[in-house]
């Protein structure tokens, strides 16, 4: 109850997708708990726990949110965030989940923005501005019932590698501008976006936002 007492929004994010399933095998507490709950073994405790907490939150009038690696592993009450493959979001939507699209190839802003050696250290790989702009929360080939379940999209900026507020701003902008357009506009026009972004950079600069210039990289 502590989280719901201090957090007024209707949704509560549970996370939990990367919890090692093998830990239960080595736990003296988990091994007897599994048969006590009628489960096949400790590996099934993760699903049992998510179902139990989901039911508790639902009884309090809240909506559980959780990451999904496959689109199939969370109880029906969850709003899911598929992060591996956009098609996992489609599968989850067809199963009846509401979906917030968060595929890492287009929404994880902790990836470097280019392969330039001066980029801040980050995950292996590159996610440039066009890669973020090409994010499509509800692709045209999806069934209407699947697209209708998509609540939107969101950016992730994990901070394992980010050392300073300046680096965080640099990683976020202007890629966050591209994600905002893909989230809020059904019309896509890459050249027109670049033209508007050129003007918007003036606003970012006036606000003191340390964004990535199209021609430079930050000092190492």
Quick: pLDDT tens for 156-199.
Answer: 999 999 889 999 999 999 999 999 999 998 888 999 999 999 99
Q: Yes or no: say if 190 and 133 are a contact pair by the CB < 8 Å rule.
A: yes
Q: At CA 37, angle to CA 32 and CA 43, rounded to 5? A: 65
- Helix, strand and coil content of the chain, in percent to the nearest 5, comes to 40, 10, 50
CA dist., res. 78 & res. 66, Å (int): 7
The per-residue pLDDT of the chain, averaged, comes to 89
- Nearest Cα to Cα of residue 100 among 10, 9, 183: 183
For every residue of 42-60, DSSP letters joined together read GGGHHHHHHHHHHHHHHHT
**All domains in the chain, ordered by first residue:** 2-206 (3.20.20.80)
Query: Can you give the pLDDT at residue 169?
Result: 94
Return the axis-axis angle of helices 175-184 and 190-206, rounded to nearest 10°. Answer: 130
Is the full-model pTM beyond 0.85?
yes
Residues 6+ apart with CB under 8 A from 191: none
Q: Yes or no: say if 202 and 187 are a contact pair by the CB < 8 Å rule.
A: no
Q: Yes or no: say if 72 and 91 are a contact pair by the CB < 8 Å rule.
A: yes
- Nearest Cα to Cα of residue 219 among 177, 166, 158: 166
In this predicted model, what pLDDT tens digit does every residue of 79-109 receive, in sequence order? 999 999 999 999 999 999 999 999 999 999 9
CA dist., res. 62 & res. 10, Å (int): 5
CA dist., res. 76 & res. 64, Å (int): 10
Q: Yes or no: say if 77 and 64 are a contact pair by the CB < 8 Å rule.
A: yes
Query: Can you give the pLDDT at residue 203?
Result: 95
Of the pLDDT bands very low, low, confident and very high (cuts 50, 70, 90), residue 215 is low
Query: Can you give the pLDDT at residue 144?
Result: 97
Of the pLDDT bands very low, low, confident and very high (cuts 50, 70, 90), residue 71 is very high
């Amino acid at each position: 109850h502590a989280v719901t007492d201090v957090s007024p929004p209707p949704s509560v994010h549970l996370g939990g997708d990367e919890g090692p399933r093998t830990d239960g095998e080595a736990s003296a507490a988990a091994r007897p708990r599994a048969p006590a709950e009628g489960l096949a073994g400790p590996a099934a405790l993760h699903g049992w726990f998510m179902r139990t907490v989901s039911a508790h939150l639902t009884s309090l009038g809240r909506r559980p949110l959780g990451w999904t690696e496959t689109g199939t592993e969370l109880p029906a009450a969850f709003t899911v965030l598929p992060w591996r493959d956009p098609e996992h979001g489609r599968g989850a939507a067809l199963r009846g989940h509401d979906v917030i699209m968060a595929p890492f190839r287009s929404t994880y802003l902790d990836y470097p923005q280019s392969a330039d050696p001066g980029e801040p250290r980050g995950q292996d790989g590159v996610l440039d501005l066009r890669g973020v702009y090409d994010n499509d929360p509800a692709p045209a080939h999806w069934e209407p019932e699947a697209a209708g379940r998509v609540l939107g999209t969101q950016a992730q900026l994990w901070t394992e590698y980010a050392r300073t507020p300046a680096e965080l701003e640099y990683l976020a902008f202007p890629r966050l501008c591209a994600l905002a357009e893909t989230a809020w506009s059904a019309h896509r026009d890459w050249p027109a976006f670049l033209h508007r972004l050129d003007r918007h950079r003036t606003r970012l600069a006036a606000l003191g936002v340390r964004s990535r210039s199209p021609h430079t990289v930050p000092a190492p």
